Every structure is written in structure tokens, then in C-alpha cells.
Amino acid sequence: MKEKIREQALALGFDACRFTSAQPPPHSEEFQQWIAEGQHGEMHYLQRNAAKRVSPNLVLPGARSIITLATSYSLVKESADAGEQRDQARGVFARYARFSDYHDVIGERLKELAAFVDRLGTDSITRTRTKDEDDDEGEVDQVSRSLWYVDTGPFLERDLAQRAGLGFIGKHTNLISRALGNWIFLSEIITTLELPPDEPERNRCGSCTRCLAACPTSAFVAPFQLDARRCISYLTIELKGSIPVEFRRAIGNRIYGCDDCLAVCPWNRFAREGAMMKEHAMPLEQVSLIELLSLDDAGFKRRFAGTPMLRTKRRGLLRNACVALGNVGNESALPALQQRLLDSEPLIREHAQWAIDEIQHRQISVTTAESPA
């Protein structure tokens, strides 16, 4: 049964499929301590669903197995360098945002796979069940039940994926696949079927600390421990309010996420293009920061329809664009920023003013440096 499921997963476009039990994840206690210390920041859903994340049977009563899947979003044409070719007048998106929304793309295939699992399981149960004397002819008293999730379920998915042998959790707290590198989406099917678990993967980071050194905001308080409140992905996506001033300059011209810790990992030399996501690539590598500031709400929705970018809403993306311009803009950006001082969103006005102050401060510094003694 496992091999039939794996074959179907690969046929649907998934790049890897592995199996583990529905027992609590190995690092449940560490996760609970991380939450208790507040390192999850304003991601309140992590705390709200904490009990389910450490007890998969609370997600699906009677669950016996979890199918873990990997989908590559690597593109051969992309550079593996952490800094990439950053045009200073433009904003940089995390690689995963350069595709149609992966929730929709993967979710469509995952739904199909979950239905296949249930059909396969129910057929197996029907064939092997022992009928009691009181059973009605043809009655099925057991069925397989499954639930699927694409980065939305209350799971410690990287923990489960490592236990299933899909990859290992690196010092940057993300999953690394020996076959796919760092550029992978994870998804899961939790099921009442009992499927023999695969062998877990062991950590293979060795003495390498490239990911820790690459973080612009020093978000890793120790190997394998991330303080999300300092992470640029958190600051530009998950955080809904003001970005703390202490981190704004380190953000550079990143306006949605950050790949630096992923991009420097030496395991990326094994990354390969994934068939499922390749056809959904979009031209979002870099966009004009000044152009972004001109978007109203309707324009924002049109510009980023069908992409993960909608998650930040206009207020979040323009907040990020203001910070980026404060870091890399010059006097040509001032008119657009000054226009945003009239924006109806206080969040945008605040960050626009900060950006104006930063640009003007640089102009004064340059003028002073160029003036004769």
C-alpha cells in the first residue's frame, strides 16, 4: 500500500513522499518552551494550536500515520548566492513568492492524493474485514479517513518530515533534503490507515555554520534555535504592525521574506527543478519600489492576484517598500515617499517618514563628506 501511495504521489508531481507514525513529534517539549519564551512573536496561531501540534491525534482522532511530501521550487536559472543580483532600486522577494500561490497549486494535487489514500485504505479494509454474524450483507463498518494540509495544519511539520526521512532540520531550523536542497515546500496527509514508518533522517550539518553567519539580523540565538521576532521573513510577512527600528536597516531591499540562510547551504548543489511548480513560475524576482508605492488597494490586488503576496495586504507591502527605499533609495524616491505621508494607513505614513529621514540623512552625510575642509 505504501508503494502505491508513493507512486501516485510522484505521478501527481510531488518530488518525494515518506511515511511516519502519528505519534507526538520528537521535539514537542522544545517547541513548547520556545512558545513559553515568546520567540514566536505575534504568530498567535502557533500558541493557539500548540496542543494539536504536539499531539497529532487531536487533529484527527484515530490517526495512525502521517504521509509527508516535498515539492521543489528550485529553478535552474536562479543564482544560489545569498545576495543574488540585487538591483538597488528594486525590491527583492523570497524565491517561494515567485510562483503562483503554492497553497493552491499543491493543495489541488494533495486533495487528489488524499482521496486516493482513502479509496485505497477503504478497499483494503473491506477486503480484509471479518464480518460478525449480525452484519448486514455488503455493509462496510470501517473506512479510511484522511486530512491534508499545505503549510496550514497544526503540525510540527519539519519534525515529522525528519522522522519520516524526508530530510533533516538544519541549524537554520528549516528542512534540508539531501536530494532537493533547501528549496522545498512541505505538505502532509494524516490518516487513520496504519502504514509502516520509514527510517528517520539524521542531521548532516556537521561543523558548517554558513546559515547562522548569513543572517542579517542575527536571528539565530543558537544553532537550531530561531528567535522569530528578529527574522526578516517574520518582520516583512507575519508582523502586522511597525517594524522595529533596530532591524530596518538590516532588511536592505527585501520586501517579502528572506532567503539568505537557505541560499548559502552547501546542500543546494543537489537541488533540482520540481515539475509541479516550474509551470507556475511568475516574473516577480524584483519590482520597482517606487512603482509599488503608487498602488492603491485595487491595484495591489490586481498586481499580485494568485500569489502569496496577497497575505501582507497593501499596508504590509507598502510598509516594506518604504523601509527598502529608506535603505537603498535616493532623492528620486522622495516624491513618492512624500505622497505616502498622505496615505490613509498610519502604518504606511510612519514608515514613509522614516524612509524620508534616512535618505535625507545620507544626502547630508555625502554633502558634508564632499565639502572642502
Angle value at C-alpha 109, between 107 and 110, nearest 5 degrees = 60
Report yes or no: 146 and 64 within 8 Å, Cβ to Cβ: no
Q: Which residues contact 115 (CB under 8 A, 6 or more apart)?
A: none
296 included as an active-site residue: no
* Contact status, residue 72 vs residue 184, Cβ threshold 8 Å: yes
Q: Identify which of 350, 322, 346, 345 has the alpha carbon closest to the alpha carbon of residue 334.
A: 322
- Which one from 81, 104, 151, 343 is the annotated catalytic residue? 151
The Cα–Cα gap between 69 and 166 comes to 8
Catalytic residues: 151
